[in-house]
Homo-oligomer: A and B are copies of this chain.
Amino acid sequence: MHILITGGAGFLGQRLARQLLKDSSLRTLILTDLVPPPVPLDDVRVTSIQANLTDPQSAQRLVTPKTTAVYHLAAVVSAQAEANFDLGMAVNCDGTRHLLEAVRHQAAGAMVIFASSLAVFGGELPAVVSDQTAVMPQSSYGTQKAIAELLVNDYTRKGFIDGRVLRLPTVCVRPGKPNAAASSFASSIIREPLQGETAVCPVDLSLPLWLSSPGTVTNNLIHSLSLSANLFAGIRAVNLPGITITVQEMIDALRRVAGSAAEKIRYEPDEAISQIVASWPSRFEVSQARALGFEGDRNFDDIIRAFMTEAQ
């Protein structure tokens, strides 16, 4: 296998890379991002390339006739795409298109695994969202992900690529620093208190979220590599399994697992953040994803414990 990961400097790209490198059938792994991605495990199979996908030539240089699969994780995240519309369009739409063009012309038929998001959903939603629910994004990020999904679908139908779209739940607990995702708080309110720091909760405690742990999301990204293209014939966008949980229930879990850490959370409502996050659905019917072998987490207590173990 010769694999390319965009957004390779991000925590998910790095985690995915480390896991892929355990596979001896992996021959080469290119990690690319706006900054040169760190090379995990000092593995000689890894090449780190600084590139900007908004430049078509840069995108083309990342793909070769040997490329067997591309993980497209690079994106301008939700709150940033809302604040800077043109940047979001350039990276999330044009960048994706340049990457798909590169695969089409230099590695026709190679697999493209596109990390989409529950943010494609919004507006008047049914009580439970399924793979058949119409996307009505209420954010520029969700719009741009939905457009990219349509591109991946049509490039696949035309035989230019072998695409599959995984709609990721909000990933929690993310390690590291807060980012410009509207959902960044979901990790902050667990991560910062566990590190003895104060975290800000900008949304109503009754807000339900749809979450998946980094470990589960990474496993699902890897799993999609093993699925044959015909399984995706009718439906190339899959809502990955997650757990439905309110912010209050997350804090209750933190209290159960880590006691007084939960006292470190401050409540400062933020209208812009709340509006974006509240437009996302939190209940999904994922039988299709389960049938394809994708997994969800068991409960949030375990997610917190896994984060604590990994952070050590």
Residues of A within 8 A of B (CB): 85, 123-124, 126, 131-138, 140, 143, 146-147, 150-151, 153-154, 157-158, 234-235
Contacts and interface: CB of A to CB of B under 8 A. Distances in A.
B143 A153 contact: yes
Chain A contact surface mostly = loop
Given A124-B132, A124-B234, A147-B147, 19 more contacts: A85-B158, A123-B234, A123-B235, A124-B235, A132-B133, A132-B134, A133-B134, A134-B135, A135-B135, A136-B235, A137-B150, A137-B153, A140-B154, A140-B158, A143-B151, A146-B150, A147-B150, A147-B151, A150-B150
Contacts of A151: 143, 147
Contacts of A234: 123-124
A275 to B, nearest CB: 11
A282 to B, nearest CB: 18
Nearest to A141: B154
Nearest to A97: B89
Contacts of A150: 137, 143, 146-147, 150
Contacts of A146: 150
Contacts of A153: 136-137, 143
A234 B138 CA distance: 10
Closest 5 CB pairs of A and B: A143-B154, A134-B134, A147-B147, A143-B150, A132-B134
Contact of A138 (B147, B157, B235): B157
A138 B143 CA distance: 20
Interface centre among A135, A143, A154, A158 (most CB of B within 10 A): A154
Contacts of A134: 131-135
29 contacts: A123-B234, A123-B235, A124-B132, A124-B234, A124-B235, A126-B132, A131-B134, A132-B133, A132-B134, A133-B134, A134-B134, A134-B135, A135-B135, A136-B153, A136-B235, A137-B150, A137-B153, A137-B154, A140-B154, A140-B158, A143-B150, A143-B151, A143-B153, A143-B154, A146-B150, A147-B147, A147-B150, A147-B151, A150-B150
A101 to B, nearest CB: 9
A216 to B, nearest CB: 25
A132 to B, nearest CB: 5
Nearest to A134: B134
A79 to B, nearest CB: 14
